[in-house]
Amino acid sequence: MSLQQTLAIVKPDAVRAGNSGNIIAMIEAAGFNIAAMKKTRLTKPQAEGFYYVHAERPFFPELVEFMTSGPVVLMILEAEGAIQKWRDLMGPTDATKAGPDTVRGRYGTSIGENASHGSDAPETAAFETAYFFSCFERK
């Protein structure tokens, strides 16, 4: 397995509930290196651009509204097999089906408000990390 980077987002629901620090602690306890991190509030154009692959889906407007509803914490996580490792730590997209030892199981409440986002493939991770972090912010 090789060293990878992946994007992690602590979504507005988890930030609003005060769970950012708890999620970051879970990430560090799982052995990730946080290569870059910042807290910001996404604009509508930023959210629409980030989720462009879902633009034709019926949930797109609701997703954009949710992701712009409050601050998010953006991170580049680094580890051996980081993409799958982060997806495993997050748990299933539907937080109601996530185990208690996962981010979504502990801090998510639904399929929409599921506390976290993670890249799903190396190509996606490359796009997503570059979307939010300049070359000067990334390792």
CB 102 within 8 A of CB 91: yes
| CB contact burial 117-126 (16+ within 10 A = b; e otherwise) | bbbeeeeebe
> Is 47 inside any structural domain?
yes
Residues annotated as catalytic (active site), given as ranges: 117
> Is 83 inside any structural domain?
yes
Domain count, the chain: 1
Classify the C-alpha dihedral 95-99-102-107 as positive or negative.
positive
Q: In a 3-state reduction of DSSP, which class is residue 67?
A: helix
> Is 44 inside any structural domain?
yes
- pLDDT at position 9 is 98
- pLDDT at position 138 is 79
> Is 94 inside any structural domain?
yes
> Is 139 inside any structural domain?
no
pLDDT in tens, 87-118: 999 999 999 999 999 999 999 999 999 999 99
- pLDDT at position 82 is 98
* pLDDT of 68 higher than 80: yes
* pLDDT of 139 higher than 90: no
Backbone angles phi, psi at 103, to 5 degrees: -60, -50
pLDDT in tens, 3-44: 999 999 999 999 999 999 999 999 999 999 999 999 999 999
Please give the Cα distance from 108 to 56 (Å, whole number): 25
> Is 137 inside any structural domain?
no
> Is 138 inside any structural domain?
no
The residue range of the domain holding 54 is 3-132
Whichever domain contains 83, its CATH number is: 3.30.70.141
> Is 101 inside any structural domain?
yes
Please give the Cα distance from 87 to 84 (Å, whole number): 5
Where residue 1 falls among pLDDT bands split at 50, 70, 90?
low
